[in-house]
Amino acid sequence: MAQGTLFIVSAPSGAGKSSLIQALLKTQPLYDTQVSISHTTRNVRPGENHGEHYFFVSKNEFEAMIAEDAFLEHAEVFGNYYGTSRKAIEQILSTGVDVFLDIDWQGAKQIREKMPQSRSIFVLPPSKDELDRRLRGRGQDSEEVIARRMAQAVAEMSHYAEYDYLIVNDDFDLALSDLKTIIRAERLRMGRQKARHDALISKLMAD
């Protein structure tokens, strides 16, 4: 069986990448597409659950995992650690399922180096004003945090050209359709199609 594809999605906070990934997952069966659940040392937000949105761990636990080489990639974002568990990803990919990683540019860079067959997608907001509106619309952050996120957004966006694909998330349905198109095209690549249609190809080539 062909390995699944690892899709990296990055965007400045508030651009809509979590919404896009969640909407995508609703249209795809679990045996096709899954999303990786990261480990983080940041505080749990209201409405978040351990093991569903993140695995929330202490700094000591996170550092022990780094020492055990348990992460495929890890980085510090907004003063907290975030990381992707190697074991979980490798296990899912080996069953032919595609995996989505919602990670920042630092993690994307590490994954690209280790797994050149992965695909990376950058999501941009249509404007700075709209990004500001979306961050406020979530109603999760204080003024101080929003100001920090806006400054961080510019730093994150400066890495857009390192990615394979670019989506501008203005109209949500259009952006979702762009995301689905990328996945569909990747699934139609020769390497995967050949493995999937082995029996058909043998029959067509037989005398």
Ligand X SMILES: Nc1ncnc2c1ncn2[C@@H]1O[C@H](COP(=O)(O)OP(=O)(O)O)[C@@H](O)[C@H]1O
Binding site as annotated, residues for ATP: 11-18
Min dist CB 1 to ligand GDP, Å, is 26
d(CA 132, CA 192) in angstroms, rounded, equals: 40
CA distance 7 to 17: 12
Task: Map residues 38-67 to x or -, x wherever contact with ligand GDP holds by CB under 6 A.
Answer: x---x-------------------------
Quote the least distance from Cβ 122 to ligand X, whole Å: 11
The helices-and-strands tally (H runs, E runs) of the chain is: 9, 9
Query: What distance in Å separates the CA atoms of residue 38 and residue 99, rounded to the nearest whole number?
Result: 12
Q: How many Å apart are CA 145 and CA 142, to the nearest integer? A: 5
The size of the chain, in residues, is 207
Q: Mask of contacts with ligand X, 137-166, x by CB under 6 A?
A: xx----------------------------
Residue 15 partner contact from ligand GDP, ligand X, none using kind-dependent CB cut-offs of 5 to 8 Å: ligand X
Binding site for ligand X (CB under 6 A): 11, 13-19, 134, 137-138, 169, 172, 175
